Amino acid sequence: MRILILGGDGYLGWPTAMNLSAAGHEVGVADNYFRRNICRETNAEPLFEAPNLHDRIKIWKKKSGHEVKSFIGDLTQWSFVEEVFKSFSPEAIIHYAEQPSAPYSMLNRRAASLTISNNLMVTANVIFATREFCPEAHIVKLGTMGEYGTPNIDIEEGWLDVEHNGRAHKFLYPRQGGSLYHTTKIMDTDLMWFYVRMWKLRVTDLMQGPVYGLETDENKGEPRLYQFFNYDEIFGTVLNRFIVQAVCGFPLTVFGKGGQTRGFLNIKDTLNCVRLSIENPADKGELRIFNQFTETFSIKELAEKVQRVGNDLNLDVEINHMENPRIEAEEHYYNPKHTGLIELGLEPNFLTDDVLAEMVETVMGFRDRIDKSRIIMNIKWF
């Protein structure tokens, strides 16, 4: 299948490009290095330097024999979008081309505006280009479990049947995000769902929880093919951050009570979920929604896991319940459903102590590159 990955240089974009090309698909990636640029601006550099996209593609070709086509440009600009869609003629589009950081979206007015305009205008352009150049193509859009927030009832998989005053209606599950970033993802969904109804697009929305992990089947043994691995407060996801903190002797930064519970998954499972969705497309006029995670942990449980495994590896891991810079429930009900991807064939890679130990050991090899000043950046929600 001809698959266009928007945001193909990112934490998920690049591993997805390798994974789908290894599976025999024809892959194109589009990116404008937006993520690299804002990492540099905020001094949130990742643990490893990554070759640029052209070089990554060459290294991957040499390792695997597979070609990936690249398009460098800004997807908020229609002229670029038009050029990419016309020349590549995608049969499927994976839309990762968003400002992906919750803390960055709360940093200041400029970062907030950029998050809104970038995320919304790219999503709109993807919709318009699909309608104009490839109306049968399947759009796989990355959502986030964070769109649901932490309601006091079960989180269903995308939709909610409501009975009210003796009548019934099925709604898109009502959403309430915990950051501006999450709110823009809700707005993306509003937009996508509207055009699915009007123009009979095929869309899969993957409501993903926080991802962790470094090695994939494709990058194993070739660190130049690693995705970005951030451990800073802005771009690092929580487990990746905790692992780096454990390795460099920084007390694990648990925000408040740590009862915040989320659905997590290994980056290997992200790749499997995306590939399963691509290979089993949504119907025409369908917005198909999957909750994409494999198990839930509270932040406190996660910290304790890292502490136990770290201490077994002779690290001296402490946990610090710091003042919560976010506005969020620190203890709450959390019961999200997630059967759709399992039914499609997902076989989860759970977070066992062995898996965690392997991640810790990999990061220990890069201990000298850790800059502790990146761990706390004091971005407040209020």
Catalytic residue numbers read 144, 181, 185
Nearer to a second copy, 255 or 366 (CB): 255
Question: Could you give the angle at which helices 299-312 and 238-248 cross, rounded to 10 degrees?
Answer: 30
Give residue for tokens 């890292």.
Answer: 306
Q: Exposure string (b/e) for 292-315, b if CB count within 10 Å is 16 or more?
A: bbbebbbbbebbbbbbebbeeeeb
**284 scored as a contact of a second copy (CB under 8 A):** no
Nearer to a second copy, 174 or 365 (CB): 174
Least Å distance, CB 306 to a second copy, is 29
Distance between CA atoms of 296 and 220, rounded to whole angstroms? 27
Give the helix ranges, DSSP H, for the chain: 13-22, 34-41, 53-64, 78-88, 102-105, 109-133, 180-199, 238-248, 267-279, 299-312, 340-344, 353-364
The one segment of 115-123, 281-289, 313-321, 353-361 that binds a second copy by CB under 8 A: 115-123
**117 scored as a contact of a second copy (CB under 8 A):** yes
Could you tell me if 255 and 324 are in contact, meaning their C-beta atoms sit under 8 angstroms apart? yes
Give residue for tokens 């919709």.
Answer: 127
Least Å distance, CB 202 to a second copy, is 16
Distance between CA atoms of 378 and 323, rounded to whole angstroms? 10
Nearer to a second copy, 151 or 251 (CB): 151
Single-letter amino acid, residue 66: H
Residues 305-364 that bind a second copy (CB under 8 A): 327, 333
Least Å distance, CB 302 to a second copy, is 25
Nearer to a second copy, 118 or 216 (CB): 118
**DSSP tag of 331:** S
Number of amino acids touching a second copy (CB under 8 A): 45
Residues 70-109 that bind a second copy (CB under 8 A): 78, 109
Of the residues 33, 48, 80, 199, which one makes contact with a second copy according to CB under 8 A: 199
Residues 137-196 that bind a second copy (CB under 8 A): 151-154, 160, 162-165, 167-169, 171-172, 174-177, 180, 183, 186-187, 190-191, 193-194
Least Å distance, CB 163 to a second copy, is 8
C-alpha dihedral sign at 190, 195, 200, 204: negative
Least Å distance, CB 237 to a second copy, is 21
Other CB atoms within a 10 A radius of the CB of residue 338 amount to: 22
Q: Which residues in this chain contact a second copy in the complex, by CB under 8 A?
A: 78, 109, 112-113, 116-117, 120-121, 124-125, 128, 132, 151-154, 160, 162-165, 167-169, 171-172, 174-177, 180, 183, 186-187, 190-191, 193-194, 197-199, 327, 333, 381-382
